[in-house]
Structure 1
Amino acid sequence: MSSADPIVRIHGISKSFGKAVALQTLDLDIAPGEFVTFLGPSGCGKSTTLRILGGFETPDTGRIILDGKDVTREPANRRNVNMVFQDYALFPHMTVRQNMSFGLELKGMGKADIKRRLDELMAFLELDSYADRYPAQLSGGQRQRVALARALAPDPALLLLDEPLGALDAKLRGQVQQELKSIQRRTNKTFFFVTHDQEEALTMSDRIVVMNQGRVEQDGTPEELYFHPASRFVAEFIGETNLLAGEVRGSDGDEVVMDWYGQTLRGHAPAGAPKSGEIVTASLRLEKLGFHRDRPATANAVQGRVVGKTFLGSRMAVDLLVEEAHGARLKAYVDTATGQAVGDDPVWLGWEADTMAVLRG
């Protein structure tokens, strides 16, 4: 198997539980060393995919190819895959070292080899000082690191992480996110991470697969999904956005020209650009709106009046009424100084065409 080949190939996977469809013909390749996150609301199919990869569920159709081998019908203990659960699933009566060695003993590894592997891993993950402690004597972050070390010990081809940070408080969660990403980078392991937290997905992932009702809504880098969402679902699920509905007037290269309450706007076209006369919706992120005293030279410019402000610390959310007759509004994030300086007088709002994504569907 060459380094260019996917380490995981998911081909035509579907799964139903009774009449409930969990997955609809999923196709996906995962490259070695990728940090891939499956993101979506409860019931979207992300956890079912993880369980199928781990060997805990059998798909109705399709195949799972791992490291060039078809493992679709192989049980969990015969796959070169390991899993980190949300509750860590550490054995409370075992020390850190014993928890970490458990899987290696099951594989029949000799004592000397186990000691060598654990010494190497504990030094790498800075767990030496916890080796003889029990899980109850560890903090939440320490337990999470031990669970990760135990999963890495057998050197799996693929590590599955099922919302492993869900039990941590907000501050610790942020620290562990960075640590987990650092460990993935240093080990160059392939991580398959499942979460419903869009901020967590944006922070940690090389690639995000957004799921909705058992199918993939969009698959791309965090930047692609945030700035160029392919659908309204993705635009609303990842971050906060303005949604502008209007009629297509035409296209100009990779731009769509649309009418929005009498204003001519330009946005980034999706694959398969809409035709003239179609009603479309465009996504405009709040931080992409610039405030100006005079009409700016940006591709898009509209005038608005401030009707509300919300102080958010380092920035301010500003609500603007843009079209009085129809009550059309836009919301913008600005730095606090700019937000405080904006008064009751009309202001110009400007943004470029490539910052406004015209959505499909």
Structure 2
Amino acid sequence: MTDVKDPIVRIEGVTKSFGSFIALHEMNLNIASGEFVTFLGPSGCGKSTTLRILGGFETPDTGRVILNGKDVTALPPNKRNVNMVFQDYALFPNMTVRRNIAFGLELKGLGQAAIKARIDELASFLELTAYLDRRPDQLSGGQRQRVALARALAPDPALLLLDEPLGALDAKLRAQVQVELKAIQRRTNKTFFFVTHDQEEALTMSDRIVVMNKGRIEQDGTPEELYFQPASRFVAEFIGETNLLSGRALAVDQGSAGFDWQGHQLRATSTPGRAALAGGAATASLRPERIQVQRDRPATDNAVQGQVVNRLFKGHRMLLDVAVGETTVQAYTDTDRGRELADGPVWLGWNANSLTLLAD
């Protein structure tokens, strides 16, 4: 669990089952104020269940949820200082944008002058002023998403929960709204808890990513940590593209390891807890873009020879399949170099910090 000083949210030993299906196994998680935390994982991994427990829409079987130092485990949604943005936005179709934003403020009992001031503030902030008198069906997907955010932010919640809110957008608009949403989070300094199954979306937007698998936290860290230092085979495969090399772990020390792969003695990095792998079968992760491909032996920590057996044009870069012994290794290179290296033997080179020893 990531060390968080004075967390705004503490999830302590939370479990949740639906019949015989265990959705969450004793989850422990701390979230700091102002963090953009993304829960990432495949369908059924427990990420949406966690979000619903935080929002008060589900009650855990065991464990506690602490918000701003207060135990809110048994409180209903309207008694928590939390708001939620759903995938379909759940806007009131018969209400204008203005009335949608005002809804939560009216429930809090604010006066009309205070409500108008808050609506005007959010509309200006989210560039919605020109649309305040329109209904949701008169707006684009991106505009509806901003209205949903404005409505959720209006009561000034301590925590904002977002359940795959970009899933209904097309690819181009989705990329645009990702940038906008992260900018909004930074400007408001609100704590965002974002749920997605899209690993690229998680890498783009998050301060922290919590990778879930079968109701458990597989790894919790920054996007860079999860991408370049995956703790397990599941994380390595789920986030981005990678080569998984099967071999034998040699000496495993603090942060470093030896790795025997098809008779090649390689240098690798290891994460805490990998020492027990020394001398046994192990798997290592190597990202395709971290590999140098050239005719001459590269001056890298690790170097092996192979033969290009296939290439795939990807616009500004090319993906090469290189046969090394019994294994095909994939490596990215620029398009011109990929054409030059299409025939004949090549060298693959990478440094020790690009090869990570995994736990299966």
TM-score > 0.5 by shorter chain: yes
In 2, distance between residues paired with 1:76 and 1:209?
Answer: 23
Q: 2:321 aligns with which of 316, 319, 328?
A: 319
Flag the 1:117–1:239 CA change in 2: closer, same or farther, 3 A.
same
Q: 2:300 aligns with which of 298, 304, 307?
A: 298
Hey, what does 2:197 align to over in structure 1? 196
In 1, distance between residues paired with 2:171 and 2:133?
Answer: 28
Whichever residue aligns with residue 94 of structure 1, its letter is M
CA offset at residue 249 of structure 1?
Answer: 2.4
5+ residue gaps, structure 2, are none
Whichever residue aligns with residue 292 of structure 2, its letter is G
Q: Pick which of 288-297 and 100-109 moved more.
A: 288-297
Check the 8 A contact 1:13/1:61 in 2, yes or no.
yes
Flag the 1:113–1:13 CA change in 2: closer, same or farther, 3 A.
same
Q: Deviations over 1:264-306 (max 9, x none)?
A: 1111012122443211100000000001222122111000110
RMSD of aligned Cα (Å): 1.1
Check the 8 A contact 1:248/1:274 in 2, yes or no.
no
Hey, what does 2:334 align to over in structure 1? 335
Hey, what does 1:8 align to over in structure 2? 9
5+ residue gaps, structure 1, are none
Q: Deviations over 1:194-252 (max 9, x none)?
A: 00000000000000000000000000000000000000000000001000010122235
Check the 8 A contact 1:96/1:130 in 2, yes or no.
yes
Hey, what does 1:146 align to over in structure 2? 147
Give yes or no for the alignment of 1:267 onto 2:250.
no
Check the 8 A contact 1:270/1:360 in 2, yes or no.
no
In 2, distance between residues paired with 1:343 and 1:100?
Answer: 58
In 2, distance between residues paired with 1:154 and 1:217?
Answer: 34
Mapping for residues 342-353 of structure 1, pairs under 5 Å? 342-353=341-352
TM-score under structure 1 length normalisation: 0.97
Counting matched residue pairs gives: 356
Check the 8 A contact 1:55/1:76 in 2, yes or no.
yes
Give yes or no for the alignment of 1:238 onto 2:210.
no
Hey, what does 1:219 align to over in structure 2? 220
Hey, what does 2:126 align to over in structure 1? 125
Q: Per the alignment, in what secondary structure is the counterpart of residue 116 of structure 2?
A: helix
Whichever residue aligns with residue 282 of structure 1, its letter is A
Mapping for residues 253-264 of structure 1, pairs under 5 Å? 253-264=254-265
In 2, distance between residues paired with 1:12 and 1:252?
Answer: 32
Check the 8 A contact 1:241/1:286 in 2, yes or no.
yes
Hey, what does 1:17 align to over in structure 2? 18
Q: Per the alignment, in what secondary structure is the counterpart of residue 151 of structure 1?
A: helix
TM-score under structure 2 length normalisation: 0.97
Hey, what does 2:58 align to over in structure 1? 57
Flag the 1:275–1:217 CA change in 2: closer, same or farther, 3 A.
closer
In 1, distance between residues paired with 2:252 and 2:155?
Answer: 55
Identical columns (%): 70
Whichever residue aligns with residue 10 of structure 2, its letter is R
